[in-house]
Structure 1
Amino acid sequence: MKILVIEDNESVSSMIELFFSKEGIEGEFVKDGREGYRRACDKRWDCLIIDWMLPGMDGVTICRKLRQARVDIPIIMLTAKDSESDQVLGLEMGADDYVTKPFSPLALMARIRAVTRRYAQPPSPPEEEGVLQTVHFKMNTNTREVLLDGRLIPNLTPKEFDLLHFFLQHPKQVFSREQLLDRVWGYDFYGDDRTVDVHIKRLRTKISTEERPFFHTVWGVGYRFDETSGDAT
């Protein structure tokens, strides 16, 4: 496994580097945000670990630019910011997960294994030739494009695409947050399940209307996706 770590705190980098050596992980460490962004683009990595606050270019900007450039590599954000709004911002920019400082190497390793396992799974869409057609949606898993009533949905993050794909494959079924973390993120529930809420909120903003809410909250259970008309709850 090859991992790029963009982190300017030497003590944090040293801790991660020591743990990587014990786990047999090949790590490369960069202190500057601009250099880190360049290195992230010019080599295939198994995972990127990006600190929020960096000289040259901050971690959120790096994440956003990588996703805009269609760099499809799992990204874990390291942040000392523990407010919900900050964590939501990182996820909205395309990060797959975040770890709040201070953290243990074991916790970081659990997140690394989780996101890399998800990305390593070969695509196995049940639809023919990677195209899934429903009442209102047409999804191409090869080009990762989604049409809603013939109109392209722009700016879907990789995880938003995966989450919508899962719901389109399982219409009208109710899933808990823990089930969605397991099935879409690829790991058993670990940490904060607000990640699911954030992504569904973002999808609602991008695809839902008052007449067609699509996503329904089942209180005390989780979420259900339904293309039939009805009031959002």
Structure 2
Amino acid sequence: MEPRIHIFVVDDEPGVRAMIEDYLTLQGYAVSMAENGEALDRLMAGKRPDLILLDVNMPGEDGFSIVKRLRGAAERMGVIMLTANADETSRIAGLSNGADDYLAKPFELRELLARVRAILRRVPPQGGLPAVRPTLSLGPFRLDPEARRLLDAEGVEIEISIKEYELLETFARHPRQILSRDRLCELSHGRRLGDADRSVDIRIARLRKKIEPDPASPTVLRTVRGEGYLYEPTTENAR
């Protein structure tokens, strides 16, 4: 089995670490966490990550010093700096010390994911493994997480929006689980719905027209009345 891409999250705020870990794990990455530079060094004594998400302002050694030290030791993993200070001087300092990208807090989890994917496409993964995640099955269809594409049984691409893709990937990673509208939106898009927001329902209706044999009687993306939606692989729709 091919090892997963491994990301280290270095931040002194437990809530930030947990939020990022939950989201990136659901996206298929292996995630390890550290609260400061010393904890990062302990992690790296056992394994080299493919990417580090590195907070700037931490007690003890700050993020600028850490990334400078990593680059001085010829470490080649990707580094994205995270900071509440978004001024130009800080961005230049981070990039000058060897960071690949710079993201200001608070940030949208979807933007963080986009930047992670962009860096992983450019930075060679540790151990020489290809930085590509395997495709996911969803009924007779395949999802390509790297290119965010939906393919039919013959490998022909079916046109869908990014948010429609994110919903399908969430279902594929949570088979046989009833997911409420709020939970779907949180897992797929990194946010919760407002009370009047029916966007998930609208996107699922559109997806059913593209992937269901009979959209009026869905068997791939089922509705569980009063609870949410369910993807349950069966011998009829699984590959």
Normalised TM-score (structure 1): 0.49
Look at both structures and tell me which one has the larger radius of gyration over its CA atoms.
2
The TM-score normalised by the length of structure 2 is: 0.48
